[in-house]
Amino acid sequence: MAGHRSAEVPMKTPDAAPWIRARCERYATMLLIVAAALAGCSVAVIKGPIAQPVWKVGNEWAYRYETPSETGTFVWRLDRMETLANEPHYVITAGTREIFYRVADLGFTKEALEGKIVRQISPSTWRPVAFPLSVGLSWDMKYLETRPTEQQTENVERRCVAEGEEALTVPARTFATIRIVCKNTRNNSWVITVWYSPEVNHMVKDEYLVKTGGRASRELLMFRLK
């Protein structure tokens, strides 16, 4: 302890033993508190294949993001259900952005900003997480991606593999996750890595390439499930 020297309390004085006992008791109490905290932070082990989650209106996931040019935070919220082409979809909002995921398999369909479509794929096969999810699972996807505001269209081929389990620490805390890596099957180049947690019913982190160069990432800050 700063400013306190042991020489100031001679070990053979009558007061030494009570002082040492009190100090030890304080340390023991601190250790018990730390041990209890660590026990409460233990990470559950993933058991068996992970079933596809059922999202509910009102679910929220807050993330921080970092790109080569900026950092910030955002909240994904399940705002409503909506039917597109006779298929029920979850509609996730983040400010004026809306993202549509097919309920059947969480396949991405489209993304809109301020009511205008900025990205759309057909068929809705793109999904960085597939279910039932377990280590070793792999899945392939082919689709046409259109970005109307950029006047771009691209035929895309992707392959994702659930590579392994990992205890991952993010700002929210530590979670048991399955790490998934997705690549462009045309040239075997890396596209995105996702860490999925069954406790969160969503990713707790991802890392991905950005078109302007470099990598970006998103990490979970908090979540609320209904």
- What confidence tens digit (pLDDT) does each residue in 119-130 have? 999 999 999 999
Alpha carbons 41 and 21: distance in angstroms, whole number = 30
DSSP 123-174: SS---S--SSB-TT-EEEEEEEEEEGGGTEEEEEEEEEEEEEEEEEEETTEE
Say if residue 32's pLDDT is above 70. no
pLDDT in tens, 52-75: 999 999 999 999 999 999 999 999
pLDDT value of position 212:
86
pLDDT value of position 45:
84
Residues 22-42, mean pLDDT to the nearest whole number: 40
Highest mean pLDDT among 10-14, 35-39, 44-48: 44-48
**Alpha-carbon 137 to chain mean position:** 19
- Segment among 19-33, 85-99, 131-145, 162-176 with least mean pLDDT: 19-33
Say if residue 106's pLDDT is above 60. yes
pLDDT value of position 48:
84
The answer as to CATH 2.40.360 being correct for domain 60-224 is: yes
Say if residue 80's pLDDT is above 50. yes
pLDDT value of position 44:
73
Sign of the dihedral through C-alpha 113, 116, 117, 118: negative
Say if residue 19's pLDDT is above 80. no
Residues 77-100, mean pLDDT to the nearest whole number: 97
pLDDT value of position 47:
83
Say if residue 181's pLDDT is above 50. yes
